[in-house]
Structure 1
Amino acid sequence: MRSSNPVFSRRGFSRDNGYAGFNTAPQAGGAPVGTQGSPYAQPQGNPYATNPYAQQDLQQGAPPQTPVTTGRMTMDDVVMRTGTTLGILIVTAALAWALLPVDDANIGRSYGIGIGAAVIGMVLALVQSFKRTATPALIVSYAAFEGVFLGVISSIVDNRIASGAAMQAVIGTLAVFAAVLVAYKAGWIRVNRRFYGFVMAAALGFMLLMVVNLLFAAFGGGDGLGFRSGGLGILFGIIGVLLGACFLALDFKQVEDGIAYGAPREEAWLAAFGLTLTLVWIYMEFLRLIAILNSSD
């Protein structure tokens, strides 16, 4: 299965044949149940069959179903790495909020620093996304610069547009994360080929519309086509949050498959990176939605 996140779609939790992981019960060190004869299944079955730790476990007599974790990614690894990236992001965001004032005399300088940090963070994210292995230094640096941008933009919205907007966006993001996690674990969300295709088509259409809107705004001035303001802005803000929730479901599926198939431990950094990207997406959509709602009052 390929993820919506460019991180996961490069390697780590994806099989190159596309959708092999959907509707299967993966077993560490072996082919997933139900993929025999499937046009989506890889010949080798397990994308981590070459993991020396997984092979060592099998040679020592551990059955494929036994959850051995020596040298392999575990849920604790994913939680710890995600906590690290989010912790760094929160700390740098708090520092940016405190040290970069957004009053009339300083807002231009602070906004410029925030945009510069966003550009650097985007470059670091793209570099990591196209690398075939996780580089913790890149991921941590991305989180730090992204935190500076979020701190500045959150301070601007909170202090100049809608008081309390940042906390509302944080609560909204946490609520979406918890709701999707519960729904995924309860089986209410079925991540299959149809779900994946729908999400990716919707995401592509959403991003194309946002790019067109940005181009119209850049060259024509104003709000472009109005996709990020007024009634249309509210609608697209809600769509953005829903897409973020769908991305989370895909990410949970990728993490689950990575653990089940015996991904190397360093892949936990890719999981943390992908989840951080998705949570930043959801937070920004909430913040934008709150700003639009308060601007329309």
Structure 2
Amino acid sequence: MRSSNPVMNSLTTAKGGIQRGAYPAGAPQGYQDPYSGYGQTTTGDRPMTVDDVVAKTGMTLAVIVVLAVLNFSLGLVNPGLALMLTFVGAIGGLITVLVATFGKKYGSAAVTLIYAAFEGLFVGGISLLFSGVTFGESAADAGVLIGQAVMGTLGVFLGMLFVYKTGAVKVTPKFNRIMTGALVGVLVLALGNLLLAVFTGANPLRDGGMLAIIFSLVCIGLAAMSFLSDFDAADKMIRAGAPSKMAWGVALGLAVTLVWLYTEILRLLSYFRSN
């Protein structure tokens, strides 16, 4: 069972001694449980626990929040420098995720915290832009908008955790395949819209119109459903006895989804305020 989150997807291969396990009901011939090999690892690291995931995710989010506040505050006095750091954060965060995913650095605390630092700069800068401070909005109004986005993000996260724990939505291989296809589709649309904006000036998916609102709602829905895959992957790694260092990879995967969700909620709120 693979996750729709590419970082979580990589985590399922971060182990040695994979052995064929029992076939679950309905599994095709030749199926291998991607989590079954953790029990045979001899890294000397203790098994991962829920507390490890909570602690590492908390530290990752703390770094993001601190850097976001710093860049947002910098933007109030020097918008040009803050926007430059925002661009650096966006590119740096993307490169870090690619390194973690394809360079198999998913158990590295350094990689996760470096990603958090870059994403903190990005989140602070994007909050500055969407809140309208650089376009004359007061800091108080900006704070209200950002606070609403933060509460919305937290609410969606906790809501999806409740949905997962109650089993209201089952995470199956088919579910993950559908999610992966949907995420690829959204990525293609976003890239196409970016190219359209660069070459023609038209920006239908991000101009605040009805189509842009629908697109943001779709992105928010996909980000919310992605949490189910993330929780499922983390849960199975814990039960399979994955090394505790893998909690850093889980934290990275959750942070990627949280940042995406926060950005889309903040963008959507900015549309309604503008309208």
Q: Is the TM value for this pair above 0.5?
A: yes
Q: Distance in 2 between matches of 1:86 and 1:51?
A: 29
User: Identity of paired residues, percent?
Assistant: 35
- Please say if 1:97 is aligned against 2:72: yes
Does the aligned pair in 1 maintain the 2:35–2:236 contact within 8 Å? no
Offset, 1:33: 6.8
The change in CA–CA distance for 1:81 and 1:48 in structure 2 (over 3 A counts) is same
Which residue is 1:12 aligned to? 12
Q: Distance in 1 between matches of 2:68 and 2:35?
A: 43
- Please say if 1:214 is aligned against 2:187: no
Q: How many residue pairs align between the two structures?
A: 263
Q: Distance in 2 between matches of 1:45 and 1:116?
A: 36
What CA deviation, in whole Å up to 9, does each residue of 1:109-149 have, x standing for no partner? 32122112221121122111212242211210110111011
The change in CA–CA distance for 1:293 and 1:13 in structure 2 (over 3 A counts) is farther
Offset, 1:49: 3.7
Which residue is 1:256 aligned to? 235
Which residue is 1:116 aligned to? 88
Which residue is 1:137 aligned to? 110
Which residue is 2:269 aligned to? 290
TM-score normalized by structure 1? Answer: 0.81
TM-score normalized by structure 2? Answer: 0.87
- Please say if 1:202 is aligned against 2:188: no
Offset, 1:253: 0.3
Q: Distance in 2 between matches of 1:79 and 1:98?
A: 28
Does the aligned pair in 2 maintain the 1:114–1:152 contact within 8 Å? yes
Does the aligned pair in 2 maintain the 1:35–1:41 contact within 8 Å? no
- Please say if 1:31 is aligned against 2:25: no
Instruction: Tell me the SS of whatever aligns to 1:92.
Output: helix
The one of the two structures with greater contact order (alpha-carbon pairs below 8 A, sep at least 6) is: 2
Offset, 1:43: 7.7
Offset, 1:197: 1.9
Which residue is 2:123 aligned to? 150
Does the aligned pair in 2 maintain the 1:3–1:14 contact within 8 Å? no
Q: Distance in 1 between matches of 2:274 and 2:250?
A: 36
Does the aligned pair in 1 maintain the 2:68–2:121 contact within 8 Å? yes
Q: Distance in 1 between matches of 2:177 and 2:25?
A: 19
Does the aligned pair in 2 maintain the 1:78–1:272 contact within 8 Å? yes
C-alpha RMSD over aligned residues:
2.5
- Within the candidate set 157, 173, 179, 1:177 is matched to 157
Does the aligned pair in 1 maintain the 2:11–2:246 contact within 8 Å? no
Does the aligned pair in 2 maintain the 1:32–1:46 contact within 8 Å? no
- Greater radius of gyration (CA): 1
Given residue 90 of structure 2, which amino acid in structure 1 is its aligned partner?
Answer: A
Offset, 1:216: 0.3
The gaps in structure 1 that reach 5 residues or longer are: 16-28, 57-69
Which residue is 1:78 aligned to? 53
The change in CA–CA distance for 1:248 and 1:235 in structure 2 (over 3 A counts) is same
Q: Distance in 2 between matches of 1:178 and 1:141?
A: 26
Given residue 49 of structure 2, which amino acid in structure 1 is its aligned partner?
Answer: T
Given residue 55 of structure 2, which amino acid in structure 1 is its aligned partner?
Answer: M
Does the aligned pair in 2 maintain the 1:2–1:13 contact within 8 Å? no
Offset, 1:283: 0.3
Given residue 102 of structure 2, which amino acid in structure 1 is its aligned partner?
Answer: F
